[in-house]
Amino acid sequence: MQKISGFAAIIGTPNAGKSTLLNSILGQNISIVTSKPQTTRNKIFGIYTKDNIQIVFVDTPGILDPKYRLQEFMKKEIDSSFAESDIIILVIDAFKYDSGILKSTYEKYRTEFSAHKLFCVLNKIDLLKKEEVLEMIKEVSDQFKFDEIIPVSATKKFNIDDLISTIARYLPESEFYFEPDAVTSQPEKFFVAEIIRQNVLKQFKDEIPFSVYIDVEEFKEREAGKDYIRASIIVERDSQKAIVIGTSGSKIKSLGESSRREIENFLGRKTYLELFVKVRKDWKNDEDFLKKNFNKQGAPVI
């Protein structure tokens, strides 16, 4: 049987459900999900392989107008995803559908869209009535040029199989790009940092803003005994450092325990995790810091 393989970029506005969609497709969490916008900072490659089909999904940061240097790096992640993809999947939050925002996004990337097969995925349809979904599909079809419009619920896993089979019909005959058992191309160290960052965002909610960076300074795999991980949580102000540490270290202890459990589940082995908190004032606009920790495309230096 001839193999079919290709790349599909997942783009959309913040909190449209891009990362949830990727996790649902793969059946496991490789892209962090929180209620905070702009949670995803980097391209994350998720690899779906079944039978003779391999689809390499590229999860990207939410579409935005950069207001500081870090967001400029994030925008480059979106832009670079187009060049390497066969299909662009524009994810729309159907529950908060706004034709004006869709039109703005469509016009912004009209050139890139016209050079690719373009899907519109209407996500979160479980929050709508069937008649509302059908009306929305007709409106999108009448106003915009998409090759496919597919309603899904990423959280309920509704219509995910249909989305996968539809994508496969548009991909070329090709050998697989990755081994059949691969789920992502990112190293373990990347996901350790993402797990810690996700727990920071969840535990501290509005107390700690989006601008937190996790620096995994040491990652030692040990044949005997637990793996050793030392990581620093980079914040922008001394007041934020105090919040993360908590009274007598209570908050960072709780953060370390929850992160360690998730890291162990992800790695499948016991881990000793040591966390520190450091202040780097306005690091998201610090050119030297960004150059050191992010490559030219915006991906973290691991």
May I ask the CATH architecture of the domain 4-169?
A: 3-Layer(aba) Sandwich (3.40)
Q: Provide the pLDDT for residue 8.
A: 95
Mean pLDDT of the chain: 88
Most confident range, picked from 19-33, 37-51, 175-189, 226-240 = 226-240
The pLDDT of 12-25, averaged and rounded, is: 89
Give ranges for CATH 3.40.50.300 in the chain: 4-169
Give ranges for CATH 3.30.300.20 in the chain: 188-293
Most confident range, picked from 37-41, 90-94, 203-207 = 90-94
The pLDDT of 290-296, averaged and rounded, is: 69
Q: Provide the pLDDT for residue 299.
A: 45
Pull the structure tokens for residue 210. 């989006």
Strands 87-93 and 117-123, bridge-based pairing: parallel
C-alpha distances out from residue 161 to 7, 83, 164, 233, Å: 17, 26, 5, 38
The pLDDT of 127-142, averaged and rounded, is: 96
Pull the structure tokens for residue 76. 């480059």
- For residue 33, name the pLDDT band (cuts at 50, 70, 90): low
3-class SS at 188? helix
The pLDDT of 120-147, averaged and rounded, is: 97
Q: Is the pLDDT of residue 73 over 80?
A: no
Strands 44-50 and 117-123, bridge-based pairing: unpaired
Q: Is the pLDDT of residue 296 over 60?
A: no
- How confident is the model over 149-176, as pLDDT tens digits? 999 999 999 999 999 999 999 999 999 9
**Which class in CATH covers the domain with range 188-293?**
alpha beta
Q: Is the pLDDT of residue 233 over 50?
A: yes
Taking CA 98 as the corner, what is the angle to CA 61 and CA 88, rounded to the nearest 5 degrees? 40
